[in-house]
Amino acid sequence: MPFLAAFIALSLGGIVDSGYLLYTHYGKKSLVCPLDHDCSYVTESKWSRIFGARNEVLGFLFYAGVFVFALGEAAFPATVHPLYAFAVWGIGAGFLFSVFLVLVQIFAIKDYCFYCIISALLTLFLFLGVFVIPH
């Protein structure tokens, strides 16, 4: 159960992180970056969309899906186990996509986004945690 609490906390962190990026983009607000980098240079680059969807939308949906899975697992432990494989594959895919986006920041964009790095770390912790939850 403590790992489910961690999944809930990590997914909520991801929802807040990607939600902030969504809010600033669609609300036409300035993105505040605590690092000495221009986060908007990354979030508005040609890499900001994959498959026609903005990365922060995909991130928000990813974290919301993990959140729903974790809540379902906590509320109905016996009935959600068949969905565990989907959670493993989904988190694995999210992790690989996150690694890809970090590599894009390093090698293609050559700039960094604080919120993107936070999301990558959250996804890394989810990926590591998915192997610890009993299934």
- Whether residue 111 lies inside any domain: the answer is yes
User: Residue 125's domain is classified under what CATH number?
Assistant: 1.20.1440.130
DSSP assignment of the chain equals: -HHHHHHHHHHHHHHHHHHHHHHHHHTTPPPP-SSSS-HHHHHTSGGGEETTEEHHHHHHHHHHHHHHHHHHHHH-HHHHHHHHHHHHHHHHHHHHHHHHHHHIIIIII----HHHHHHHHHHHHHHHHTTTS--
pLDDT of residue 3: 74
Structural domain that includes position 46: 2-129
- Whether residue 134 lies inside any domain: the answer is no
Q: Is-above-0.75 flag for pTM? A: yes
Instruction: Name the pLDDT band for 81 (thresholds 50, 70, 90).
Output: low
pLDDT of residue 80: 57
Instruction: Name the pLDDT band for 42 (thresholds 50, 70, 90).
Output: very high
User: How many structural domains is the chain composed of?
Assistant: 1
pLDDT at 47 over 90: yes
